[in-house]
Amino acid sequence: MEEEVGTPPKKSKKKLILLIAAVLLLAGGGVAAFLLLSPPAAPKRGGAASAEASRAQLTAKFIELGQFTANLIREDGDRYLQVAISLKITNPDLEDKIKETKPEILHRVNMLLQSKYPSELSTIDGKERLAQQIKGQVEYVLGIRKTAPAISSEQDAAPETNTGKSGIADVLFTSFIIQ
């Protein structure tokens, strides 16, 4: 019995290829996990406007005004509007002020809704115009506007110069039904 002396048996190339593939797969998974799980990079300082906008997004609060049902001005029969309205505010001081003046805000919103034709509210532009008019009424009640916006179908709530910093970021319709 002679023992073979010389070359050791050859290892399979398949094992080597599988090992390399496994290492690459793990490395790729690690990179993907790092990119997906790491927090986003902080935005560069772009000035006061971007800082104020991001601060407003962080401190925004939503206040529900409630659900309104109003008869619309007759065009072709009895129609009514049922809408739920919320305010997005960025000034925390407004929350208490809105609660204190809520009856007057609700009255002005009801009067505004009852001054509308169904055809005015059937388009996106009409709904956006209504949101701006509601915002104008709320700003007036809160003392942000000096003059009361007109409550009529023909006139829009013309923005005043200081309304950009009013603390009311948006008027949101969480439900909007015309029947």
Q: What is the pLDDT of residues 101-148, one digit of tens each?
A: 999 999 999 999 999 999 999 999 999 999 999 999 999 999 999 998
**Cα separation of 99 and 105, whole Å?**
9
Q: Say if 55 falls within a structural domain.
A: no
Tokens of 173: 């319709």
For the chain, list residues with pLDDT below 70: 1-11, 40-58, 153-164
**Cα separation of 153 and 130, whole Å?**
10
**Cα separation of 30 and 28, whole Å?**
5
Q: Measuring CA to CA, which residue among 65, 162, 153 is closest to residue 111?
A: 153
Q: What is the pLDDT of residue 114?
A: 95
Task: Count how many domains the chain has.
Answer: 1
Q: Say if 104 falls within a structural domain.
A: yes
Going by their DSSP bridges, the two strands 168-178 and 80-89 should be labelled as: antiparallel
Q: Say if 27 falls within a structural domain.
A: no
Q: Say if 100 falls within a structural domain.
A: yes
Q: Say if 77 falls within a structural domain.
A: yes
Q: What is the pLDDT of residue 161?
A: 46
Q: What is the pLDDT of residue 108?
A: 96
Q: What is the pLDDT of residue 99?
A: 95
Q: What is the pLDDT of residue 157?
A: 46
Q: Say if 152 falls within a structural domain.
A: yes
Residue 168 buriedness (CB in 10 A; 0-12 / 13-18 / 19+)? buried
Q: 140 lies in which domain range?
A: 60-178
CATH number of the CATH domain containing 157: 3.30.479
Express the helix, strand and coil content of the chain in percent, nearest 5 each: 45, 20, 40
**Cα separation of 122 and 154, whole Å?**
16
Q: What are phi and psi of 4, to 5 degrees?
A: -80, 125
Q: What is the pLDDT of residue 33?
A: 79
